[in-house]
Structure 1
Amino acid sequence: MTLRHARRIGGATAAALAVGLLAAPGAAAVPGNAVTDPKALPTPGSAATGVRTDACDDTTAPGWLEVANPVLTVSAASPQVRFKVWDDSTPEHDKVVDTAVDVTGGTARLATSGLADGHSYSWQTWPAYDPGSGKPTPTCHFRVDLTHPGLSVSSTDFPESGSGTTPGKYAGENGVFTIQGLDAAPAGGQASGVACYQYVLNGTLGVGWDCASGHTVKAGADGTAQLTLKPKDWGTNILTVQAMDDAGNVSQPVSYSFYAPWDSRPKPAVPGDVDGDAVPDILLPDAQGNLQIISAAAEDTTPTSVVPARLAPLHAGWQDDLVLHRGWANVHGPGDDLLVRSQGNPQVLYSYANWQKGDFSGEYPTLVYKPSRCIDAAANTIPCPEGYNDEDWSGVDQIVAVGSRHKGSTPAWPGLLAVENGKLYAYVEALRSYQVAQPVATSGDWSGYDLIAPGQDAAGNLTVWARERATGALHAYPVVRQDNGLLDFSALADPSANVVATGFTTAAYPTLGSSGDGDGDGKPDLWAVTPDRHLVTFSGWSAPTDLGALR
């Protein structure tokens, strides 16, 4: 029995291994020399998890290789190292390599070739000629998959062009595409299995090594994935999909052509909706700085569309930008415009007009100037309070878009509520600009609160919420529409009033916001992001649902 432990991983067929064996010169052993740091190159891994490992223990699942000729390496001080490799997919765990290799520059390298597709291997090394003079390496493990996967695409919502089946959905609506993968196992071997699918709608496909890159959907245990996409343009669309197995082998791209009919049905205008489907949206950056548009009614964190990082105000991504949305100018819509303040340029507030249902690729931002005139609740001009900065937006600590001062879904540019030097101001909207600032609360200190704008409920009533950072208490303040067209913010005079819930600490939910009514019950809802970047939605401010990790 050799020093390696027996480990059965794969199937039960013999494997052929052609190894370039290096002749072992007659060198004397150097006592006390150990071999360390065993590695296979390339490093075995899993495309599904993104983890690479040499699995040099009894518990770690072996990683996969997509090559038949890995190089095995160890560090050693002795003149020679003995390599042994076993095929664990054969009934007797056949030893397929047993050879001594010279050490050069402190490293011994064994170049292998001809490893069998679908087989699992173990390997270990010792100091040559005198195994008792040095400690051997642990037994390491890897698996080999040389077969490329395949796939097929189907959809009842948007049937393949030429099928003769009428589409069940229209352009601008979400459709479900079923992707079925196949990763056939070789005779007597094991397949790594389809890990994920990378896709692009009407574009060029780019493939990364693992399944963590953008525009990726993971495969289920049976190799199937459900992909929800919204074709924005009516007419012929092309969905291109490529499968990747757990070893990193990729299939040939499959192009699925389908027709999305023009939707002539009128859609209700819903403030909080960016992509034009009459459902409010949550806007959050992904790890690459792209801006994700995620439906507030979603069951997971898959975005309906993504605004590329290059379209951010400073072209460096949206990850550090404050993005507001709760209405639109009456020259276009429905679909919220964006108001953006970049951390890299806090003096400026940018406006992005939403002409294409959440596709801002053809838009250039314009500047929104801060008003220099102040009014009271009766719309009378008054001196602006001491400390008010009428030059730019740099003194504003936080801003939310509260929605229109007009009741119902009349297209309107959103009013703003902002904290500046601990004081609360409202900015009255005009056509893509703000004419006046209204001091709302100049006595209470709002610097310790996070403003939240849930928008209006089914009856058209507005409310402002706030999270007290020190305690995690949630406050709700009713906002009344006045006859003069302004909003009555008098309920916000005391920020500590009107506690409606607790437990919303900054430790549990570093980011807390609302996009409106996500669950369709007529009442606005909260959403939050946890420290580990999970998106959590609420019904109102109760019944949290974890939608999973954000991209």
Structure 2
Amino acid sequence: MTLRHARRIGGATAAVLAAGLLAAPGAAAVPGEAVTDPKALPAPGFAATGVRTDACDDTTAPGWLEVANPVLTVSATSPQVRFKVWDDSTPEHDKIVDTAVDVTGGTARLATSGLADGHSYSWQTWPAYDPGSGKPAPTCHFRVDLTHPGLSVSSTDFPETGSGTTPGKYAGENGVFTLKGLDAAPAGGQASGVACYQYVLNGSLGVGWDCASGHTVKAGADGTAQLTLKPKDWGTNLLTVQAMDDAGNVGQPSTYAFYAPWDPRPKPAVPGDVDGDAVPDILLPDAQGNLQLISAAAADTTPSSIVPAALAPAHAGWQDYQVLHRGWANIHGPGDDLVVRPKGNGGGLYVYANWSKGDFSDRLPTFAWKPSDCLDPAGGSIACPEDYAADWSAADQLVAVGVRTGTEPSLPTLLSVEHGKLYAFIDTGRGYGYAQPVATTGDWSGYELIAPGADASGNLTVWARERATGTLHAYPVTRTSDDLLDFSALADPSANVVATGFTTAAYPTLDSAGDGDGDGKPDLWAVTPDRHLVTFSGWSAPKDLGALR
């Protein structure tokens, strides 16, 4: 390693050490030799967007690095490559490196060191030692940020413990927390700015996260973010937050303690509600496989809470499962239990008991066997159809309609489509005890079942989308004198058209969580091809809530 020259960074003089700084005697360029594919390692970029760029033109914004010693590399056909590096943040745009490096295996590498915090740099390479011969690579650019960001947390809904301010919300209600970042710029330099925050309520922060990870919220242009969280339990809660700047520097975790008072107001039991706030919830996986609980009354796609990916049956994320909910069997309701089925016509069915307002981390799921007995609507034993399957694998569709009776807690009654036939599965107190053939003559294979739940009067319906046309049908489900569900209206799938335009091209996913807007009638929701969440009032007045995480 040879001392080549001294350089000035931010007014100070520093020595640069690099391997192969002197050209070999007699080195000469060969016409036509070229250097290509210039790269800095690690790759400069922007943590907020995940974009990585070497900015080898005059229009692309230079990315950020969180290290002072990137390695600059190029591919080359010449025996040597000449590197030049300029500090664009100094008044004279000082050239701080001008050296030749041997090419090994078609690649030349220059190890830098001591780059200044907050400075911008340009660099370029040429074949051999003579910059006037051969074809140079384009000039590339990057910026350096070595300072870790800080942050503060505040909330008027749940003030910090010791502030003397009375909370404006109760446990079980959403509260807004303001996260304000600080990414100070060094003298004579720039800061990359706060990009995002990782957060956890009453838990430990993870490692190896980025701005696309679960439990993160991106910062606005001013470095602040609004975080909406729902403390489920009354008492003292701890919100832990960590900031990341655009260069990828991570600050120290900050813990915000606050008190959530017990809510004395009684909450009604609302099938479709998972987190116990008496509003139905939309359940969808995020990009990391976590299960998002998004209120059907939400104004955007911010989840009120998240069920971690590791709690899915195979512990690898919820993206591979269909999650149903519309009732509860345990005595700790009213939050819906989850009925979970592997996608792709999996044969298993799992029940997650909801004992903690949407926190399913305290108990293992139980397996729900498919019943082997069939009964008619009057309760008489009948032979199951010959093509009735012994497990859930033959169910092309499965939806949760509602509870078995209007007065008793139970797992939701399920409807399935098997070989074009429609079946109902009834909870008898110890799991699904029997199947009821609902429609064995009409062909349901071209219809997509939707279970909107009950209206304000407790009346149930089943909706269905005709996949070929986007036509929406609605079938009333009344209750018998014994307070049981009567599915006789579902004998003909083509009956009862109520709306059109719900094509699979416009809405690949179409479903209902129940009454989200509080008008006493159930509502549709949909996911568009670009993963925007759209809610409806009934089946009209679509409202785009924005992109899903």
Query: Structure 2: how far apart are the matches of 1:545 and 1:59?
Result: 37
Note if contact 2:23-2:129 (Cα within 8 Å) is conserved in structure 1. no
Structure 1 residues 102 and 347, CA, compared in 2 at 3 Å: closer, same or farther? closer
Deviations 1:111-165 (A, max 9, x none): 2223222221111111234445421111111111111111101111211111122
Residues 387, 403 of structure 1: CA spacing in aligned structure 2 closer, same or farther, 3 A cutoff?
same
Give the length in aligned residue pairs: 538
The superposition leaves residues 386-439 of structure 1 with CA deviations (integer Å, 9 ceiling, x where unpaired) of: 3223x32222221111112544x7634321111111101122332252333222
User: Within the alignment, does 1:482 sit opposite 2:480 as a pair?
Assistant: yes
Deviations 1:458-488 (A, max 9, x none): 1222111111122222222222222232323
Name structure 2 gaps, 5 residues minimum: 1-8
What is the aligned partner in structure 1 of residue 414 from structure 2?
416
Q: 1:35-60 deviations in whole A, cap 9, x for unaligned?
A: 11101111101100011111112332
- Say if 2:401 is the partner of 1:402: yes
Q: What is the deviation of 1:226?
A: 0.9
How many Å apart are 1:255 and its aligned residue? Answer: 0.8
Deviation at 1:211, TM superposition (A): 0.4
Identify the residue that residue 368 of structure 1 maps to in structure 2: 368
Deviations 1:244-268 (A, max 9, x none): 1100111111111112222232111
Q: Would the aligned equivalents of 1:375 and 1:437 in 2 still touch at CA under 8 Å?
A: yes
Aligned to 1:319, what secondary structure does the other structure show? helix
Query: Does structure 1 conserve the Cα–Cα contact (< 8 Å) formed by 2:153 and 2:178?
Result: yes
Alignment correspondent of 1:20: 17
What is aligned with 2:6? none
Quick one: distance in 1 between partners of 2:468 and 2:221?
45
Q: Cα 1:529–1:197, aligned 2, differ >3 Å: closer, same or farther?
A: same
Q: Does 1:267 align with 2:267?
A: yes
- Taking the TM superposition and a 5 Å limit, the aligned residue runs for 1:294-305 are 294-305=294-305
Cα distance 1:481–1:40, how it changes in 2: closer, same or farther (>3 A)? Answer: same
2:92 paired with 1:89: no
2:489 is paired with a residue whose SS is helix
Aligned partners of 1:326 and 1:403 also within 8 Å: yes
CA contact (8 A) 1:197 1:242 kept: yes
Deviations 1:258-298 (Å, cap 9, x if unpaired)? 12222232111110001101111111222333222221122
Any gaps of 5 or more consecutive residues in structure 1? 1-11
User: Which whole-Å deviations, capped at 9, do the CAs of 1:198-242 have from their partners, x for residues lacking one?
Assistant: 111111112435301111011111111111111222222111111
Does 1:250 find its partner at 2:254?
Answer: no
The equivalent of 2:59 in structure 1 is: 59
Q: For structure 1, which segment, 482-491 or 223-232, has the greater mean C-alpha deviation from structure 2 after superposition?
A: 482-491
Task: Kindly report the root-mean-square deviation, in angstroms, between the aligned alpha carbons of the 2 structures.
Answer: 2.2
* CA separation of 1:164 and 1:108: change in aligned 2, threshold 3 A: same
Separation in structure 2 between the aligned mates of residue 494 and residue 186 of structure 1, nearest angstrom: 72
Shift of 1:334: 0.6
Q: 2:456 aligns with which of 438, 455, 458?
A: 458
Deviation at 1:325, TM superposition (A): 0.5
* Residue in structure 2 matched with residue 7 of structure 1 by the alignment: none
**What is residue 178 of structure 2 aligned with on the other side?**
178
Taking structure 2 as the reference length, the TM-score comes to 0.92
CA contact (8 A) 1:330 1:431 kept: no
Relative to structure 1, the CA distance from residue 127 to residue 494 in structure 2 (aligned partners, 3 Å threshold; closer, same or farther) is same
CA distance in 2, matches of 1:311, 1:211: 22
In structure 1, the partner of 2:4 is: none
Using the alignment, how far apart are the partners of 2:324 and 2:240 within structure 1? 33
1:438 aligns with 2:400: no
Q: Which residue matches 2:192? A: 192
CA contact (8 A) 2:183 2:193 kept: yes
